[in-house]
Structure 1
Amino acid sequence: MTILVLSTLLIIGLILILAEVIFVPGTTFVGIFGLVISLAGVAFAFANFESGTAWFITGVAFLLNFAGIVYGFTSGVWNKFALKNTLKGGTFDGRTGGLYLGMEGKAISDLKPVGKASFGDNIYEVKSEGGFITVGSKVEIIKIDNNIILVK
């Protein structure tokens, strides 16, 4: 019966320490609880077995817990929690390349004051300087600033 209690304490402690490292990193409560249960198992070993056997059980428990922690950190589980992608963007991303001041185009939707206009073969979202411009009207670029195309 004492071996069953001892092994249960040590196994539950090891499982909780592994759960802390692998499944719920950062909470520390589960890991501390696992460490306390492992230490209770070691104390139980010293209370119920002779000194040499208790030290052997302590060494095995320490090695298993240490191996579990090392495995948790080297298994690649942390890669699942790490952000690997970065957002690449900015205020100017080249959308207005090929446009220039004074370039003429045609409104392909009503500009109220924002709408769409075509310049060459491309369609751009534009903003009118003076308010409403009807579809089909000629427009002229008067300002290009941070991907905002201002027309009149």
Structure 2
Amino acid sequence: MITTVAIIVILGVLLMILETFIPGMIAGILGVLCVLTGVLLVMMAEEFSHWPAWGRGAVACFIIVGSAILQLIWLRFFAVQFWSRTFTLQAEIPSAENPQTLACGTEGVALTELRPLGRADFSGSRREVRSEDGFIPAGSRLCVTGAEPGNLLVRAISLHS
């Protein structure tokens, strides 16, 4: 009878593992039912009646805890890595060293009207900019005053200075 219980519990664990590959909860529910059937057989079968109650309880707890530990090991070390390798793109996109940053004081020309966002040219390099002064017409001379994520901060260079 102990062999039957072991086979039922192993089948239950394998069905729960199979659930990670086949969605729908059918295999998982059948696996849990097999494990619980193994526990019930240990607790109620006549072949185990000569065992003390604490011994049957210990075996039942071992079945439940062992099944849970096997599931956690499967999910932690094998299933996650399998799905990660299967469905995760491993390529890396090289990142430039912050291409939006220019030194403060760099001068350029507004390519579009800055209301306050727009585009500007800094020595042949076109960048997204945000005006700290509000509206700046296209063609105005600009000076970089700082940077923020995605934009350079600029001010118009007045003709009088």
* Alignment TM-score, normalising by the size of structure 2: 0.50
Identity %: 24
Match of 2:131 in 1: 128
Deviation digits for residues 90-126 of structure 1 (CA, Å, limit 9, x no counterpart) = xxx62344x2222211212221101111112222111
Q: What is the number of residues matched between the two proteins? A: 122
The yes-or-no answer on 1:78 pairing with 2:80 is: yes
Q: Please, which of 92, 98, 116 is the counterpart of residue 94 of structure 1?
A: 98
Query: CA 1:15/1:123 → structure 2, altered by over 3 Å: closer, same or farther?
Result: farther
**What residue ranges of structure 2 are gaps of 5+ in the alignment?**
21-27, 51-61, 90-96, 157-161
The structure showing larger relative contact order (alpha-carbon pairs under 8 Å, at least 6 residues apart) is: 1
| Structure 1 Cα separation of the partners of residues 47 and 130 of structure 2 | 84
**What residue ranges of structure 1 are gaps of 5+ in the alignment?**
52-61, 86-92
Whether contact under 8 Å (1:110, 1:132) holds in the other structure is yes
Deviation, structure 1 residue 150 = 1.7
Deviation, structure 1 residue 78 = 3.0
* Alignment TM-score, normalising by the size of structure 1: 0.52
Matches within 5 A, 1:131-150: 131-141=134-144, 143-147=145-149, 148-150=151-153
Match of 2:59 in 1: none
